[in-house]
Chains A and B, each alone.
Chain A
Amino acid sequence: MPTPYLDISQLGIEFDTDSGPFRALENVNLKIAQGEFVSLIGHSGCGKSTVLNIVAGLYKATEGGVILEGKEVNEPGPDRAVVFQNHALMPWLTVYQNVELAVAHIFKKTKSKAEQRDWIEHNLRLVHMDHAMKKLPHEISGGMKQRVGIARCLAMQPKVLLMDEPFGALDALTRAHLQDSLMEIQNDLGNTVIMITHDVDEAVLLSDRIVMMSNGPAASIGEVLQVDLPRPRDRLELAENPEFNRYRQAVLKFLYEKQKNPAKDASAKSTDSNSVTDASKTANQASAQTPHDSAAA
């Protein structure tokens, strides 16, 4: 395998709590290629967000580390822009100014004022928010705010776009629109994306790979599912696609059969975290375990 674009290796983190250290993550290994769309899925509190925050540089790993394009990540930076679940727009700045806050600082030396303005407008156009540039965040809907949050990140021209449950706080219809927009943008720009989600359909629809995390404490990567659906993907067509449903089932099975049971939780953890589960096999062998699991057990 050639050197990966983003390499997360042997990652572990411990938090200091009042009742002693708490080990949230252990032995997380993940290699991501340029232009790949990877979803992290798992139950609440399994440390998905922690992984993302370490890649973003917002948290420091206790052991292991993250290498992006040959350089170690040890602080936050615009090359790893984060889309937050609750948009994180400055309420006192207009839509335009929110994007400007990032652009004005990051491209201070490389873009003229006029170029900056064009760039901000271009990115707002990408997320279809160019009509509301003068509006304040409280004047637009939740979905629109999240669009602006995405535009702000795209405007940073990140090497990796990190998305922390970006559509979790939105209603189903708005979520679908935003997912379509995101697919469109990623198709055009070829961004490398790591997205955290709770939503199985969303993960299968958007991802090239789905990384399923085991439950904490000391959570790790349980299984990795390669999603080989052709792009561009259409949600209506996929709804009837048997492949799509097999992928869904594989994820559901992991989340609700394997991770519910603590005994199996332990066995899942002992598998090679980088192993790619063959989804069709998983689906065929309705009687639970994958070959990897049985081999490990």
Chain B
Amino acid sequence: MSTDALNHFGSQLLSRFRQVDFYRLVAQSLKNLGIPLLGVLIFLALWHSVATNIVTSLGQFPGPSEVWEQSKGLIAEHQAERQKAEDFLQRQLDRNASILAENPDAEVRIRDYTGRPTFFDQIFTSLKTVTFGFILASIIAIPLGIVCGLSDLSYRAVNPIIQVLKPVSPLAWLPLVTMMVSALYVSDDPMFDKSFLNSAFTVALCCIWPTVINTTVGVASIDRDLIDVSRVIRLPTLVHVQKIVIPSAIPMIFTGLRMSLATGWMVLIAAEMLAQNPGLGKFIWDEFQNGSSNSLGRIMVAVIAIGLIGFCLDRLMLLLQRKVSWDKNAILR
């Protein structure tokens, strides 16, 4: 075989490899993107065909196209409302400027715009509420879980209470929370709205349990050898917790936190609907009561938004877990 022929053979082989590589890449991206996309498309088609066959007293059940229209409408509404708010502020500024020009000592005030909260305002309120409730719950749940995991006695003492309170729907607490907040949170210049606190405490009540339980399990199942190392070194309890217990239990703590956040988000929507507290839940309830031909579509937009936000919150926790956890090889789902 001549060198040329060998070279030719070589380059052929190489291009074969490249082709194979290319096919693999295509197959890979089909699997990673194509299949989920196909799933979504099939779902949309099914949804569309089912929706056209359901007629309610408020008109046809919203299909994908209706939802698309309504979400555009909600965005436009939000922008219009923002414009109004800006105009309102500008008018006040202009008026104040002219007053000050006449009399420099005059007292001027800026009034807040009190328009109807838009869909996006409600999303923001809900996010704020769930964050506050979730953080409050975590501040209680993680230390409690660590104590229960470290000491069998405290676990035995606390466990029955946890087991009984855990299955209680936080909505059952809602009336009690509402009365408690209005009785105890009395201030002339309140930092938080009462409705905000009601929702947040309700969320916190259901966020506590998964985190407590998972933290307890995580702490209780630390490798015995690692604990023995700590005992041999005679680490003081606080250093032991900080250097051995928490890093060791971080994966389980995060499992609990993610479950907590997911249930917290679900419960929040229900609480807002039930108590008429501002947020996405109230948006849905208002639309339902409103009963216009647009209502069902707008509710569907809210449903999808709730799902997407819940998904994003979970991904956010996952990112945080990746950042905090030492176990970078663990498969995080």
- Cβ-defined contact, A82 with B234, below 8 A: no
- Cβ-defined contact, B239 with A105, below 8 A: yes
- Cβ-defined contact, A105 with B233, below 8 A: yes
Nearest B residue to A86, CB-CB: B225
Per the 8 Å Cβ criterion, residues 200-233 of B in contact with A are: 223, 225-226, 228-229, 231-233
Per the 8 Å Cβ criterion, residues 126-153 of A in contact with B are: 136, 138, 152
Nearest A residue to B228, CB-CB: A58
Min CB distance A237 to B, Å, is: 36
Instruction: Confirm or deny: A67 has a beta carbon within 8 angstroms of a beta carbon on chain B.
Output: no
- Cβ-defined contact, A101 with B243, below 8 A: yes
Which residues in B have their C-beta under 8 angstroms from that of A77?
A: 232, 234
Q: Number of B residues contacting the other chain (C-beta, 8 Å)? A: 18
- Cβ-defined contact, B243 with A81, below 8 A: no
With A84-B228, A90-B226, A92-B247 given, is the CB distance from A105 to B326 under 8 Å? no
Main secondary structure of the interface of A (DSSP, over half): loop
* Interface flags, B319-333, vs A, CB<8A=1, else 0: 000000011010000
- Cβ-defined contact, B326 with A91, below 8 A: yes
- Cβ-defined contact, B233 with A102, below 8 A: yes
Which residues in B have their C-beta under 8 angstroms from that of A88?
A: 223, 225-226, 228-229
* Interface flags, A68-99, vs B, CB<8A=1, else 0: 00000000111011101010101110000000
In the complex, which range does the number of interface residues on chain A fall in? 20 to 34
Instruction: Confirm or deny: A56 has a beta carbon within 8 angstroms of a beta carbon on chain B.
Output: yes
Q: How far is the CA of A64 from the CA of B70 in the complex (A)?
A: 82
- Cβ-defined contact, A92 with B326, below 8 A: yes
Which residues in A have their C-beta under 8 angstroms from that of B228?
A: 56, 58, 76, 82, 84, 88
Min CB distance A80 to B, Å, is: 7
- Cβ-defined contact, A156 with B327, below 8 A: no
Min CB distance B210 to A, Å, is: 23
Min CB distance A74 to B, Å, is: 13
Nearest A residue to B235, CB-CB: A105
- Cβ-defined contact, B326 with A80, below 8 A: no
Instruction: Confirm or deny: A218 has a beta carbon within 8 angstroms of a beta carbon on chain B.
Output: no
Q: How far is the CA of A101 from the CA of B225 in the complex (A)?
A: 15
Q: How far is the CA of A92 from the CA of B233 in the complex (A)?
A: 18
Q: How many A-B residue pairs have CB under 8 A?
A: 56
Q: How far is the CA of A29 from the CA of B233 in the complex (A)?
A: 27
* Interface flags, A101-134, vs B, CB<8A=1, else 0: 1100110000000000000000000000000000
Which residues in A have their C-beta under 8 angstroms from that of B326?
A: 91-92, 136
Nearest A residue to B233, CB-CB: A102
Nearest B residue to A58, CB-CB: B228
- Cβ-defined contact, B226 with A106, below 8 A: no
Instruction: Confirm or deny: B244 has a beta carbon within 8 angstroms of a beta carbon on chain A.
Output: yes
Q: How far is the CA of A80 from the CA of B228 in the complex (A)?
A: 12
Which residues in A have their C-beta under 8 angstroms from that of B243?
A: 90, 101
Which residue of A56, A58, A78 contacts B233 across the interface (Cβ within 8 Å)? A78
Which residues in A have their C-beta under 8 angstroms from that of B232?
A: 56, 58, 76-78, 80-82, 156
Min CB distance A108 to B, Å, is: 10
Q: Point out residues on A near B: beta carbons under 8 Å.
A: 56-58, 76-78, 80-82, 84, 86, 88, 90-92, 101-102, 105-106, 136, 138, 152, 156
Q: A76-B234, A84-B225, A84-B228 are in contact. List 20 more A-B contacts (CB 8 A).
A: A57-B231, A58-B228, A58-B231, A76-B228, A76-B232, A77-B234, A78-B232, A78-B233, A80-B232, A81-B232, A82-B228, A84-B229, A86-B225, A88-B229, A90-B243, A90-B244, A91-B327, A101-B243, A105-B233, A156-B232
Q: Point out residues on B near A: beta carbons under 8 Å.
A: 223, 225-226, 228-229, 231-235, 239, 243-244, 247-248, 326-327, 329
Which 5 residue pairs across A and B have the least CB separation, nearest first? Answer: A92-B326, A88-B225, A76-B231, A92-B247, A76-B232
Q: List 25 A-B contacts (CB under 8 A).
A: A57-B231, A58-B232, A76-B228, A76-B231, A77-B232, A77-B234, A80-B232, A82-B228, A82-B229, A82-B232, A84-B225, A84-B228, A84-B229, A86-B225, A90-B226, A90-B244, A90-B247, A90-B248, A91-B326, A92-B247, A101-B233, A105-B233, A152-B229, A156-B232, A156-B233
